[in-house]
A = this chain, B = another copy of it.
Amino acid sequence: MKKIGVLGAGQLGRMLALSGYPLELDFHFYDTSGKPSVGLGDITIDTKADIENPALAAFLNDVDVVTYEFEHIPLELTQHIESQTDLFPPSRSIKVCQNRAEEKALFTKLGIPTPKYHIVNNAKELKAAVEDLGCPVVAKTTTEGYDGKGQFVIRSIEQCSEAWDSIGNSPKGKMTLIAEEFVDFKRELSVIAARSKNDDMVVYPLAENSHHEGILRYSIAPAPHLNKEISDQAVTYVKELMHELGHVGILTLELFETKNGLVANEMAPRVHNSGHWTIEGCASSQFENHLRAICGLPLGNTDAYSPTCMINIIAVKGDIESIMSLPYAHVHLYGKEERAGRKLGHITVKADTLEELNWRVQNIASFLPGSPDFEGSKNEKN
């Protein structure tokens, strides 16, 4: 029986464990937040993420392989772990994903289209970038941003200094920003794939993702009305990325679909919120395939059974009992307290047709206060 060490102890680690126990895997979580919510398995808490902490040595001694549920881990820690034991995905994948400049450079190297962008280190450089790109411009910190944090949409050149003050001058010091042209996209897609140590790769059908206030709200998969060329292109991109990185485990690539084809947004070296639909939607979920990959087991089937939608439960839990009364709703709660903007759980729903799926999703969302309207696939209107 293998024991998996997981850096992080939130809902992604929790769902990894729930899919791993049936494969006779055991789990030990290493939490650097001080607020683990995983609720099962062994837990070590080390809020300083200190490589000299004897608890880290004990953790590494207890587990057979280490993985992680989030990429915002000190690189020094991951490199230290990699020098001691197996770490999958490798620290190179984390390093690239931690820095939007490196990530963009890798996309470009592999011929994966990205928005036009500048790397800027002060307000003056930001202004020059905005002049070159033309408004609107999306400014982001190159490191540490997620779920819409560390972003600023610059709609006029006068906003440059406000944007810089807002995200360039952080409490931790001066940040490097990336200023990107605004991409006029039809919809956001994500492609999730797994790679094994021997370069086997499997790819899930693309999901169409809807955000509200910077947080994912709905993922529909397979992405409706998707052109096969577009889908094939996404599969090629994610496979090239995994191969180039020597990635082992799940990699998620977020893409914009534009009238000129796909544009890469960003990637994550881990299981992803837009892949939660795979728990009920596929024979092997993203969580199971991540574990299969890092344990050297054969990768599992990624075909979708039928149109599936994942609905995030954000901030408040809503009327869960009414949702549980619906014959088609699969409830996943994460054991977390309600708080503004927090991901508390998700609901998965499958249907035989997209029309039926839309109706079911709307019905579920009616029991979740604050859920944005669900209007079905964004692509149907194009």
Q: Which residue of B lies closest to A22 (CB)?
A: B332
Q: Which residue of B lies closest to A302 (CB)?
A: B327
A301 touches B283 (CB 8 A): no
Cβ contacts A to B, 8 pairs, < 8 Å: A24-B333, A26-B39, A40-B40, A283-B327, A297-B321, A300-B324, A300-B327, A301-B327
Measured between beta carbons, the chain B residues less than 8 angstroms from A17 are: 40
A303 touches B327 (CB 8 A): yes
A367 within 8 A of B: no
CA distance A320 to B86 in the complex (A): 23
A59 within 8 A of B: no
Min CB distance A297 to B, Å, is: 6
A118 within 8 A of B: no
Interface string of A1-28 (1 = CB under 8 A from B): 1000000000000100110011110100
CA distance A127 to B147 in the complex (A): 77
A382 within 8 A of B: no
Q: Which residue of B lies closest to A305 (CB)?
A: B305
| Known contacts A21-B39, A39-B21, A335-B1, A298 near B327 by CB under 8 Å | no
A95 within 8 A of B: no
Min CB distance A194 to B, Å, is: 13
Question: For chain A residues 135-156, which have a beta carbon within 8 Å of chain B?
Answer: none
Min CB distance A347 to B, Å, is: 11
CA distance A334 to B26 in the complex (A): 11
Q: Determine which of B292, B328, B331 lies in contact with A301 in the assembled complex, contact meaning CB atoms within 8 Å.
A: B328
CA distance A363 to B105 in the complex (A): 47
Chain A residues with a Cβ closer than 8 Å to the other chain, count: 31
Min CB distance A179 to B, Å, is: 41
Interface string of A304-327 (1 = CB under 8 A from B): 010000000000000001001101
Question: For chain A residues 342-371, which have a beta carbon within 8 Å of chain B?
Answer: none
Measured between beta carbons, the chain B residues less than 8 angstroms from A303 are: 327
CA distance A333 to B2 in the complex (A): 13
Measured between beta carbons, the chain B residues less than 8 angstroms from A333 are: 22-24
Measured between beta carbons, the chain B residues less than 8 angstroms from A292 are: 324
B283 touches A298 (CB 8 A): no
Measured between beta carbons, the chain B residues less than 8 angstroms from A39 are: 21, 26
Interface string of A70-100 (1 = CB under 8 A from B): 0000000000000000000000000000000
Q: Which residue of B lies closest to A324 (CB)?
A: B298
CA distance A22 to B336 in the complex (A): 11
Interface string of A145-189 (1 = CB under 8 A from B): 000000000000000000000000000000000000000000000
CA distance A39 to B301 in the complex (A): 27
4 smallest CB-CB distances across A and B, nearest first, come from A301-B327, A298-B325, A24-B333, A22-B332
Min CB distance A116 to B, Å, is: 41
CA distance A300 to B283 in the complex (A): 21
Q: Determine which of B14, B324, B332 lies in contact with A297 in the assembled complex, contact meaning CB atoms within 8 Å.
A: B324
CA distance A297 to B292 in the complex (A): 34
Min CB distance A271 to B, Å, is: 15
Min CB distance A175 to B, Å, is: 37
CA distance A292 to B330 in the complex (A): 13
Q: Which residue of B lies closest to A336 (CB)?
A: B24
Q: Which residue of B lies closest to A344 (CB)?
A: B24
Question: For chain A residues 21-52, which have a beta carbon within 8 Å of chain B?
Answer: 21-24, 26, 39-41
CA distance A14 to B25 in the complex (A): 13
Measured between beta carbons, the chain B residues less than 8 angstroms from A1 are: 335
CA distance A301 to B330 in the complex (A): 10
